Structure 1
Amino acid sequence: MSVASEILTALRSEEHDPVRLLRSASNLLGDEIAVMSSFGAESALLLAFVAEAAPDMRVLFLETGKHFPETLAYRSELARFLGLTNVQDIKPYLAQVKDRDPTGELWAFDPDACCQLRKVEPLDAATLSFPVLVTGRKRGQASTRAALPVVEEKPDGQVRLNPLASWSADEITDEMKRRGLPPHPLVSKGYPSIGCAPCTRPVGENQDARSGRWAGLSKTECGIHTAS
């Protein structure tokens, strides 16, 4: 799975320009790269860069079965708006859901297990063959991401590209407006970070953007970005 050093060098040379980074990655890696997108509050900008660089790049959306209806509608609307031609829904295994979460309430008493079932396991299976994955994570989203690099090498050899790592929320908002990108409908209702409906709450002014995720719990990540 390790990415050749010359490819890593080429990618790092483009890390200050998201579109050039994504275009280079697509040219160098072809089908061996995929984008992970939640189609959440700030997803439109990264996906606009993807559409500009390589509109046929594979985009993976985790359809957990617990999303807000607004997110599912936005996923379809944004893909059409940007002209993305290769968006794929990744779903949890039906048999595993029936066995481990038959009532659909696992999130209420064991959110880690719910994320493992509905996010980590299906995404691990879907991305296992990709040496490079693209994410929309930013350093300013939470303290756990403060040192996030643009080109990130994982312990298992997989590389994650975080083209927006250094972008602030204001910069992203300004660029989305400049490009005329449609916002997620829940942003105007106080959701600066949007996950599954049962585990996401609006946040107050000056709060951490991700403080509405698993509110009241020590949990800050679902696990898809923390596993090796």
Structure 2
Amino acid sequence: MRFEEIQHRIEQYKSQGKTLFTTSSFQSHSLVLLHILSRIDNTIPVYFINTGYHFPETVKFKDQVADEFGLNIIDLKSDVPKFMQRDPMGKLLFTSDPDHCCYLNKTRPVDAMLLSHDIWINGVRADQSATRAAMKEEQPAKYGCVRFHPMLDWNSKMIWQYQKEYDLPRHPLESSGYVSIGCEPCTRRLDPDMQEREARWFGMNKVECGLHTDLINK
């Protein structure tokens, strides 16, 4: 979708009395959607899923982007304290059960947002994975909420061109070889022969956190 189409759809939702929100990981490529939303309506709440495991650089970058774009950013945290996020051996869940770790720190907090909002503006792209390629531009989620995927038909070249046109800031870890940046324990630098998402949960047979598998109706 192009800017005008995204703007029209958002204005249409608002005219229908729909409540909107978006989420962001504040990676460089995710800033395109945030910048577009800031041009359309910067009061739409942007939830930063604060797992407590993010790189310090990501948290600092989030604050920088909030200031530059004039966004309404809200931290979204798990209601389960870290000392309870351990397996029977006492190890933190990201070491032994990353799926459950993601559920507690990402999926469950956003699940609650679906109860209180009508439209989830989500920046997934079809070129990122087979799971995302199977998604539709508008797709039902839980509790009657609808996922709106305005970036679905964008590719990495289009993202780069928009970043260049508007001189968007870049995540500080990109210069160190990080491309897909999530929680620090589950993110590694990208090797030349790896695809973007393979830098996440490396060696764990896992490519999604649950936000785009559990919180969507096919």
Q: TM-score, normalised to structure 2's length?
A: 0.88
**CA contact 2:24–2:47 (8 Å) conserved in 1:** yes
Alignment match, 1:39: 26
Kindly provide the amino acid, as one letter, of the partner of residue 61 in structure 2.
Y
Alignment of 1:146-225 (within 5 A): 146-154=133-141, 156-205=143-192, 207-225=194-212
Change in Cα spacing, 1:46 to 1:138, as seen in structure 2 (3 Å) is same
Gaps of 5+ in 2: none
Of 205-214 and 18-27, more deviation after overlay is shown by 18-27
Q: CA, structure 1 residues 155+77, in 2 after alignment: closer, same or farther (shift >3 Å)? A: closer
**How much has 1:178 moved relative to structure 2?**
0.5
Q: Does 1:100 align with 2:85?
A: yes
Tell whether the 8 Å contact from 1:39 to 1:75 is kept in structure 2 after alignment: yes
Quick one: distance in 2 between partners of 1:206 and 1:174? 23
Residue 115 (structure 2) aligned to one of 128, 139, 144: 128
| Amino acid aligned to 1:223 | G
- Which residue does 1:18 correspond to in 2? 6
SS of alignment partner, residue 24 of structure 1: helix
Which aligned runs of 4 or more in structure 1 are off by greater than 6 angstroms? none
Letter in structure 2 aligned against 1:101: R
Q: CA deviation at 1:73?
A: 0.6
Aligned partner of 1:55 in structure 2 is 42
How far the C-alpha of 1:184 sits from its partner, in A, is 1.1
- Greater alpha carbon shift after TM alignment, 14-23 vs 107-116: 14-23
The aligned amino acid for 2:194 is: Q
Identity of aligned residues (%): 34
Deviations 1:144-200 (A, max 9, x none): 211322212236532111111111111101111100110111222222211101001
The letter for the 2-side match of 1:66 is Y
Name the aligned partner's letter for residue 167 of structure 1.
W
Cα pair distance change 1:196/1:180, threshold 3 Å: same
Paired with 1:90 and 1:154, the residues of 2 have a C-alpha distance of 19
The residue identity in structure 2 corresponding to 1:153 is: P
Query: Any conservation in 2 of the 1:41–1:191 contact (CA below 8 Å)?
Result: no
Report the 3-state secondary structure (helix = DSSP H, G, I; strand = E; otherwise coil) of the residue aligned with 1:128.
helix
Map 1:131-146 to 2 at 5 A. Answer: 131-146=118-133
SS of residue paired to 1:47? helix
Q: Is the 8 A contact 1:51 1:83 kept in 2?
A: yes
Deviation at 1:55, TM superposition (A): 0.6
Deviations 1:45-81 (A, max 9, x none): 1000110110111111100000011110111001111
- Superposed CA RMSD in Å reads 2.3
Aligned residues: 213
User: CA contact under 8 A between 1:142 and 1:208: conserved in structure 2?
Assistant: no
Among 82, 87, 101, the alignment partner of 2:73 is 87
